[in-house]
């Protein structure tokens, strides 16, 4: 199961602890990539946060990984489930005709 997770740091919570948590995110991402749980990650240009694509086996696993994120207590999350797009079955072609 793949999920797009948009996370944004709450600047109203700015503190040394939050700055330290943000600094730990690259290491957390590296561990997730080694475990094949993070497919991709991107910076949100002009914002304080990121867009990460998780590849997990269940909703529960995603919740656990989000809860372990260093910024969990300092960020707002938007979680969007992803589905593969395919026109192999012809549905897209039929609509286009």
pLDDT digit string, tens, across residues 62-77: 999 999 999 999 999 9
Cα separations in angstroms, 41 against 7, 38, 47: 11, 7, 14
Q: Are 56 and 3 in contact (CB under 8 A)?
A: yes
Per-residue pLDDT averaged across 11-34, rounded?
93
Higher pLDDT, 46 or 86: 46
Q: Would you say the C-alpha torsion 34, 41, 68, 59 has a positive or negative sign?
A: negative
Burial of 20 (0-12, 13-18, 19+ CB in 10 A): exposed
pLDDT score of 84 more than 80:
yes
Q: Per the CATH hierarchy, to which homologous superfamily does domain 2-84 belong? A: Dimeric alpha+beta barrel (3.30.70.1060)
Tokens of 78: 């938007």
């Amino acid at each position: 199961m793949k999920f797009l997770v948009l996370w944004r740091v709450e600047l109203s919570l700015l503190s040394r602890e939050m700055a330290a948590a943000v600094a730990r995110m690259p290491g957390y991402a590296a561990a997730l990539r080694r475990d094949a749980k993070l497919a991709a990650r991107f910076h949100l240009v002009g914002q304080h946060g990121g867009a990460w694509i998780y590849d997990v086996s269940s909703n529960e696993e995603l919740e656990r990984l989000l809860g372990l994120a260093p910024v969990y207590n300092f960020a707002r999350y938007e979680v969007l489930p992803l589905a593969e797009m395919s026109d192999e079955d012809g549905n897209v072609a039929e609509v286009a005709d």
